[in-house]
Each structure stands twice: as C-alpha cells, then as structure tokens.
C-alpha cells in the first residue's frame, strides 16, 4: 500500500522493563477509521504514542505514503493526537486553544478566526470561543479538544480513549457524533478504546490488542 499509514513490526519499551508493544504491524488507508481495543495496560495507548512520534521505537518502522517517519519529529508529522483528559491549555481561552495548531501553519488572521468558528460549530459549541477552559464541563472539554485536534486538518487523527472519562450516557451520544464527524470531514483516524461498543460505532475496522501484541 502506498497510501496512508503503514506500521511494520513496531516494538516499544520503557526503560529495562518488558516491551509495552511487541512486533505490532497494521495499515490504515486514507479516509479509513480503525479502532484499537483491548484491556487497560495492553499497550494500545503506547502504540498510539509511538505512531505520533512521542515514543521512540526499539524496532520496526512507521511509514506514511511510503515515506519512513523515523527522522520526522512529532510536530512535523502532520498528525493530530487527542488525549483522554483533553490536555487543554488552561492559560488560554477556548478559541486560543482551537487556534493553537493553526498558528504553526501559514494562515491569515481572518482565515484562522473563520476556521475556529467553523470547528466550534462542528462540535456543537458555537459561542464558546471567549470562555476559559476551566469553566467547561467534562463533555465540553472533550468536544473542544476534538475541535482543537481537527483544526489543522491532520492527515491522521489519533484518538486516545477520547470518551473514557465521561459518563455512559454522554459517551454513547458522543461516540455517535464522533462517527458522523469523522465521516463528514473525511478524516483518517485511529481510535484507542477499551469499550468495544464504542469501537463498533465509530470505526470501519476493529483491531484487538492483548499483552502488547495485536491479535486477530
């Protein structure tokens, strides 16, 4: 495959401990949404961080469109990563958070504002731009975190348990919205979750991980 993501035999280890991920291989085509499930501690979040470039590989390779990413640092990969707890910047307003990824690209001020408004509309919080991050509820925080990750149009969006911190009712509603949103924007994505129902709802294809290895 020459398009999309290609992960080959990736092994990741922390210190001297046994590897958290062993020999993982997977491919994601452009526009495809793949879910990675498994019990907590099985290494699925570590694999996601390795793809993002935040964890160094012990072995294996990660390619995008046929190009090896080994020498490309995280901020140059053009990937987005959404954390379980959002990791919004508490010292910035909602709008500044969403605009953060746009500043690295060559956008004019007007374009940036338009893009922020567009994204806030998309996640259903159109008037929230001026608010402080600390005023938001848990669900609102995750919506803003999603808007922030999507704003720079990442060629691959990595979602690390994006809904796990929310209560069940909200999680079910948001997983539906997330599925629609990813399709509507044509985003290529990998979703890490321990909730198999959420995986079925959002993803085209579900991969399962156990004890650091991809099964199925």
Residue numbers at the binding site for other proteins (CB under 8 A): 3, 15, 30, 49, 52, 54, 56, 64-67, 71-81, 83, 87, 89-91, 100-101, 103-105, 134, 148-149, 152, 155, 158
- Based on CB atoms, which residue is closest to other proteins, 18 or 71? 71
Cβ 84 to other proteins, closest distance in Å? 9
Cβ 92 to other proteins, closest distance in Å? 8
Cβ 162 to other proteins, closest distance in Å? 13
- Based on CB atoms, which residue is closest to other proteins, 80 or 201? 80
Task: Supply angle C-alpha 142, 20, 41, rounded to 5.
Answer: 50
Q: Are 95 and 130 in contact (CB under 8 A)?
A: yes
What Rg do the C-alpha atoms of the chain give, in angstroms? 17
Distance in angstroms (rounded) separating the CA atoms of residues 64 and 139: 32
The secondary structure of 6-64 as a DSSP string is EEEEEEE--TTSPPSEEEEEEEE-TT-EEEEE-STTSSHHHHHHHHHTSS--SEEEEEE
Cβ 2 to other proteins, closest distance in Å? 9
- Based on CB atoms, which residue is closest to other proteins, 12 or 201? 12
Cβ 40 to other proteins, closest distance in Å? 17
The residue count of the chain comes to 216
| Exposed e or buried b per residue across 127-151, where buried means at least 16 C-beta atoms within 10 angstroms of its C-beta | ebbeeebeebeebbbbbbbbbbbbb
Token pair 């390795």 is at which residue?
Answer: 50
Cβ 161 to other proteins, closest distance in Å? 13
- Based on CB atoms, which residue is closest to other proteins, 156 or 203? 156
- Based on CB atoms, which residue is closest to other proteins, 5 or 42? 5
- Based on CB atoms, which residue is closest to other proteins, 56 or 110? 56
What's the token pair of residue 202?
């959002």
């Amino acid at each position: 495959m020459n398009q999309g993501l290609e992960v080959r035999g990736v092994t990741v280890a922390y210190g001297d401990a046994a590897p958290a991920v062993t020999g993982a291989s997977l491919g994601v085509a452009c526009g495809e949404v793949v879910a990675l499930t498994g019990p907590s501690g099985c290494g699925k979040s570590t694999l996601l961080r390795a793809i993002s470039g935040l964890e160094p590989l012990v072995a294996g390779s990660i390619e995008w469109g046929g190009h090896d990413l080994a020498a490309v640092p995280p901020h140059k990969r053009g990937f987005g990563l959404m954390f379980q707890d959002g990791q919004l910047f508490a010292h910035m307003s909602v709008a500044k958070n969403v605009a953060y990824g746009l500043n690295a690209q060559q956008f004019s001020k007007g374009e940036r504002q338009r893009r922020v408004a567009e994204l806030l509309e998309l996640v259903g919080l159109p008037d929230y731009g001026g608010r402080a991050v600390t005023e938001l509820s848990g669900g609102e925080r995750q919506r803003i975190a999603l808007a922030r990750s999507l704003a720079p149009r990442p060629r691959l969006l990595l979602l690390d348990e994006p809904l796990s911190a929310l209560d069940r009712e909200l999680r079910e509603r948001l997983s539906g919205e997330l599925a629609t949103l990813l399709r509507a924007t044509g985003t290529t994505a990998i979703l890490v979750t321990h909730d198999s129902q959420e995986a079925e709802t959002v993803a085209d294809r579900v991969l399962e991980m156990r004890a650091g290895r991809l099964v199925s």
